Amino acid sequence: MKSPFLRFAKLALSYKFQLLLGVVCMIGVNLTQFASIGTIAPFADRILPALTSSEREEVPEWMCKVSHYWSARPLTNNYLSAKLKLDEKLSEGKRKEESASPEDKFLIRIPDSTRQVLPASWMAKIEEIVAKLNSINPTKLARMLLAFIFVMILLRVFFSVSLHLVMEGVSQSMVCKLMDMMYRKLQELPIRYFNVNRTGDLISRITNDVNVVQATLSARLADSVAEISSLPFIVCMLLALNWKVSIFSAIFLPIIMAPIIIIGQRIRKISKKTQEKIADIVSILQETITGVRIVRAFNTEEYEIKRFDRQLRKYYEQRMAGIRNDVMVSPLTELAGILCLIVVGSLLLISVMTGEATFGTIIAYLTILLLSIKPFRSIGKLNNVIQRSKAALHRIYEVLDTVPEIMECADPIDAPPMTSELKFDHVSFSYDEAEGKVIDDFSLTIKPGEMIALVGPSGSGKTTIANLIPRFYDCTEGSVTIDGIDVKKLSFASLRGQMGMVSQDTILFNNTIAGNIAYGLKKYDMNDVQAAAMAANAHEFIMEMPEGYDTVIGEHGVRLSGGQRQRLAIARAIFKNPSILILDEATSALDTESERLVQEAIDNLVENRTVIAIAHRLSTIRHADRIIVLKDGKVQEIGSHEELIKNENGIYYKLCMLQSSDENQE
């Protein structure tokens, strides 16, 4: 399997223009930086000695004026005397400059080692440039070089800012793209996937892991890459200044790179464990926040706090282990770099004593060598970022590479409105082969407009049968067909588009009441929304809300009662107007008044529709056309309520008697 990091790099290449622009900016940053460094030798060999020698060039008049005003005093004789002396010194400097010969001036010299490295054609050009610089008055040359440095600094700032903006734009776009890819993937995965994977872990992968990866293309990374990309410039300049010393200094390279490689491998392992600990923390948060009522009811706040603290402690330990390794990279590489600097500096001093190099060349060489420490330190930082990203990318691509167990066929067809029958033909199903079959050889034919009720003890397979119709799961044996067409041949959109579902666990969204009823639609007719709410016995309580249909009901409809939430779910199903309706214990856990209102709403909902009702309260399905009694995934009895209640030895009769007894006791 291809490396997750290589796959991520391939994804990043979709931003070719931005990355190319970033490369141009990096080159611009380095060129302007080293162009400024190139002025060190002229300053050291020609300008500074000339200005500080006994036969120095003239002091510019503007410097004299600044000196006067800097030490501003009342116009006294002392001040006038000082000004006259300075003016006289200025005139004397001009006369000396006119009488001085080129041989008396300090000149820029090209090192012998540079002549040995560069081609003759290049040397001719360089000698021509050096000759022109030597012919310029040192003071004038100083002004020119200062102006040049100022321009280079401005350009470097421009390239640096542009680099940051470009790379931050790419990194943020990549974050959004990865999040979108993962969210789309989650929408494709079957229900079984969410049964075996923690919600908190999935949330952590989409949020925290993706943000870790975002650092791979952030502005900080751009700085590191820009610094690392300066290494070719550094190597070329060092070789040009003194190739012998440069080759000797290469022996320090393994010493610098060893800690980077070793520590980087540790960081990847630690980072993976850290991401897993974050997932544990998010899982606890998700569980305790959504289950806050249970936490309070069982008085387990302290227990949950201690559980959370344990995970925080483990996370802290992993983070500190990563930080300890992270902070060791820079000092170790810096130490090796300084050691290299000391040895190389000693060798260069020998070359000055022998006359092979000038002090300007040495200063330039040591400055460039000193600058090389930062890129090597950046290699360590970049390697740590990459190792952390690899760990996060591994977790991200675990989700993206998950193959859905339930997929549309290669050429799906649209499901026609059911006109003939919905048929289960010798259907068997198991969640896990080791645990046995949940449904065993189940067969049933349902006619259009017929209401079928599924009853039986818990774990008998009622909900599983209902979930096979919209292909939340696929049967392991047999087939489910609509008008003779296997549901596996139908597109998801057309199959699920003609189905409605109302379950015991009502799922509502943090949206307006109207938005929940017309769920999934951007535009809808409010008259249709109100009609659905009226049919669901919900219009009255909706109008009592602060903003009516525009009231935001909170996460999971937390601002509503259980009966109100259930009626909104029924209104949503009525608004969708499905031809096949699945009711999964839609009236359980409701008080008598709420049950009455919900049952009336259900009666309006099931009219002229094919209904599969899973019932806990048997009183709600007495009018079903047929009642299917299940036990251990097998059909035990089939018939209407009147037919089944006559069999005193049957399961249905016993269930009815048990519920009647419970209701009488209440």
In this structure, the answer to whether residues 312 and 443 fall within a common structural domain is: no
- The per-residue pLDDT for range 191-215, each reduced to its tens digit, is 888 878 888 888 888 888 887 787 6
pLDDT of residue 93: 46
In this structure, the answer to whether residues 316 and 233 fall within a common structural domain is: yes
- The per-residue pLDDT for range 412-454, each reduced to its tens digit, is 888 877 777 899 999 999 887 777 788 988 999 998 888 898 9
In this structure, the answer to whether residues 226 and 322 fall within a common structural domain is: yes
Residue-range definition of the domain harbouring residue 174: 164-400
Last residue of a domain, one of 400, 430, 445: 400
pLDDT at 77 over 50: no
**DSSP characters over 301-350:** HHHHHHHHHHHHHHHHHHHHHHHHHHHHHHHHHHHHHHHHHHHHHHHHHH
Last residue of a domain, one of 400, 432, 455: 400
Q: Does the residue 19 lie in any domain?
A: no
Pair 625, 446: CB distance under 8 Å: no
How many CA atoms within 13 Å lie on the side-chain side of 582? 21
In this structure, the answer to whether residues 252 and 187 fall within a common structural domain is: yes
In this structure, the answer to whether residues 284 and 359 fall within a common structural domain is: yes
In this structure, the answer to whether residues 393 and 417 fall within a common structural domain is: no
Q: Which residues pair with 583 in a beta bridge?
A: 502, 613
Lowest mean pLDDT among 19-33, 52-66, 526-540, 556-570: 52-66
Q: How far is CA 382 from CA 357, 385, 470, in A?
A: 36, 5, 49
Q: Does the residue 136 lie in any domain?
A: no
Q: pTM (2 decimals)?
A: 0.68
In this structure, the answer to whether residues 390 and 444 fall within a common structural domain is: no
Q: How far is CA 535 from CA 346, 528, 563, 572, 601, in A?
A: 93, 11, 15, 11, 6
In this structure, the answer to whether residues 170 and 191 fall within a common structural domain is: yes
Q: Does the residue 427 lie in any domain?
A: yes
Tell me, what CATH number does 342's domain have? 1.20.1560.10
Number of domains in the chain: 2
Q: Does the residue 125 lie in any domain?
A: no
Classified as helix, coil or strand, 2 is coil
Tell me, what CATH number does 453's domain have? 3.40.50.300
Q: Does the residue 641 lie in any domain?
A: yes
Pair 388, 215: CB distance under 8 Å: yes
pLDDT of residue 56: 42
Helices (H), 525-650: 526-535, 539-543, 562-576, 592-606, 641-645
In this structure, the answer to whether residues 384 and 421 fall within a common structural domain is: no
In this structure, the answer to whether residues 437 and 288 fall within a common structural domain is: no
Q: Does the residue 407 lie in any domain?
A: no
In this structure, the answer to whether residues 319 and 460 fall within a common structural domain is: no
- The per-residue pLDDT for range 243-300, each reduced to its tens digit, is 777 777 777 667 666 766 677 677 767 777 777 787 787 777 777 776 676 677 667 7
Lowest mean pLDDT among 37-51, 93-107, 370-384: 93-107
Q: Does the residue 644 lie in any domain?
A: yes
Please report, for the chain, how many H helices and E strands are present, in that order: 28, 10
Nearest residue to 381 (alpha-carbon basis) of 170, 254, 225: 225
In this structure, the answer to whether residues 380 and 432 fall within a common structural domain is: no
Q: Does the residue 596 lie in any domain?
A: no
Last residue of a domain, one of 380, 400, 420: 400
pLDDT at 239 over 50: yes
